[in-house]
Amino acid sequence: MTRTPVNVTVTGAAGQIGYALLFRIASGQLLGADVPVRLRLLEITPALKAAEGTAMELDDCAFPLLQGIDISDDPNVAFDGANVALLVGARPRTKGMERGDLLEANGGIFKPQGKAINDHAADDIKVLVVGNPANTNALIAQAAAPDVPAERFTAMTRLDHNRALTQLAKKTGVPVSEIKKLTIWGNHSATQYPDIFHATVAGKNAAEAVNDEQWLAEDFIPTVAKRGAAIIEARGASSAASAANAAVDHVHTWVNGTAEGDWVSMGIPSDGSYGVPEGLISSFPVTVADGKYEIVQGLEINDFSRARIDASVKELEEEREAVRALGLI
Ligand SMILES: NC(=O)c1ccc[n+]([C@@H]2O[C@H](COP(=O)([O-])OP(=O)(O)OC[C@H]3O[C@@H](n4cnc5c(N)ncnc54)[C@H](O)[C@@H]3O)[C@@H](O)[C@H]2O)c1
Ligand SMILES: O=C(O)C[C@H](O)C(=O)O
């Protein structure tokens, strides 16, 4: 193997998502089965020992693609030469806590990390923010990295997308592979809007196939939007393996592209499309080719969808105002 390894920096490497994620990256599932990787793990000082333990286990897997592991508590070191950065490390939401409560606690983490990315990452850096509140944390990191093209900062709504796929597949009795063109709009929060009006189920329009607006409004949308809270309630901890899986899906799609005739959902800086104010990091339907994503244009947005997109975007605007007031952007 002669190819230069891709540097993948993972923050919060000793956390529960980190533990579910690192082995999949090292096995080639993030970038491809022929792409060697070097892992750069960032943790806070008290968690370095735990990160070292995970690194020992990674060594013990003898992954052919894994070309090295570096561990640091210094963002300037961990992001040095990073080609892909997965910003997972944050304070997870605990029972009864809303994401808004986390803005201040997490803002202080993402500003210095954005600056370190600005100063040390590779020119082709791609950033995925997983740590909540993911959209606004991505905005904070992006604002601290003025030399990096804004579109390289993305937030994870692929978990919501995957959740919606399964709920719709169950309702319509088809495998998830038969569902295409689902969209998550807005924030990775309870206001998000999973949209099936442009989706297809085995080639037929999903909304027509379901033909049950009550199910859509009272079952599907709240089930998807509140799934994170339901997992916390059931497990006593936030989703981990499914979140890691979605992070792998997000980056894999960003690097390798979307399938013909389908799209995915990504939290990305708005260019003003669909009335979402420019600069907000909001979830959109995107296609990806050659490592670049594009918002799917020209979708007709009905009144049912418009109200829900607007509500989630309003929450994003409020979060942006809150972090602006805190001097984080
Ligand atoms: N976007 C999504 O779909 C989604 C889904 C699930 C979870 N999440 C979020 O992902 C985040 C991580 O979840 P988890 O379950 O792995 O949490 P966790 O508490 O198990 O792990 C978080 C890790 O981050 C580390 N950390 C804290 N501050 C750090 C810093 N400044 N630099 C580097 N590391 C730091 C902690 O030491 C800890 O090891 C949470 O914010 C959670 O809410 C997002
Ligand atoms: O809701 C949370 O904080 C957990 C996570 O974002 C999730 O969607 O599972």
ipTM: 0.98
Q: Give the pLDDT score at 99.
A: 57
Q: How far apart are CA 242 and CA 61, in angstroms?
A: 22
Indicate whether this model's pTM tops 0.95: yes
State which of 94, 162, 226, 231 you would mutate to test the pocket of ligand 2, scoring each by most atoms of that ligand within 8 A of its C-beta. 231
85's enclosing H/E stretch is strand 84-87
Angle among Cα 286, 291, 78 to the nearest 5 degrees reads 110
Is 250 catalytic? The answer is: no
3-state SS assignment for residue 30: coil
Cα–Cα separations (whole angstroms), residue 141 to 115, 153, 306, 326: 7, 8, 29, 14
Beta carbon of 132 within 6 Å of any ligand 2 atom = yes
Query: What pLDDT sits at residue 103?
Result: 82
Q: Is 13 annotated as a binding residue?
A: yes
User: Which residue, judged by its Cα, is nearest atom 43 of ligand 1?
Assistant: 92
User: Is the C-beta atom of 159 inside 6 A of ligand 2?
Assistant: yes
CA 316, CA 313: separation in Å to the nearest integer?
5
Residue 75 pLDDT = 98
CA-to-CA dists, residue 146 to 11, 150, 222, angstroms: 21, 8, 37
Ligand 1 contacts (CB < 6 A) are 11-12, 14-18, 42-44, 47, 88-90, 92-93, 109, 130-132, 134, 156, 159, 188, 238-240, 243
Catalytic position from the list 188, 198, 250, 252: 188
> Is 163 part of any known ligand binding site?
yes
Q: How far does residue 303's CA lie from ligand 2's centre (Å)?
A: 28
Instruction: Note the pLDDT of residue 104.
Output: 79
**Dist. CA 292–CA 284, nearest whole Å:** 14
Residue 106 assigned to a binding site: yes
CA of 229 to the centre of ligand 2 (A): 6
Residues of the chain with pLDDT under 70: 1-2, 92-95, 97-100
* Euclidean distance between CA atoms 220 and 16, whole angstroms: 28
Q: Tally the C-alpha atoms within 13 A of residue 276's C-alpha that lie toward its C-beta.
A: 27
